[in-house]
Amino acid sequence: METQAKPTILILCTGNSCRSHMAEGILRDVAGDLLDVQSAGSVHPLAIRALADIGIDISANTSKHMNEFLERDIETVITVCDNADHACPTYQGQANRHHWPFPDPAKVKGSEAEIWNAFEQVRDDIRRVFTDYGQARMKAGQALR
Q: What share of the chain is helix, strand, coil (3-state, %, to 5)?
A: 45, 15, 40
CA atoms within 13 A on the CB side of 128: 7
Are 78 and 11 within 8 A, CB to CB? Answer: yes
Distance CA 2, CA 60 (A): 32
Q: Which of 43, 81, 118, 126 is catalytic?
A: 81
Q: Which of 9, 11, 12, 13 is catalytic?
A: 13
Task: Give yes or no: 81 in active site.
Answer: yes
Per-residue buried b or exposed e for 94-128, using 16+ beta carbons within 10 Å of the residue's own CB:
beeeeebebebbbebeeeeeebbebbbebbeebbe
| Angle 95-99-101 from CA coordinates, rounded to 5° | 160
Q: Which of 18, 37, 88, 122 is catalytic?
A: 88
Indicate which residues carry an active-site annotation: 13, 81, 88
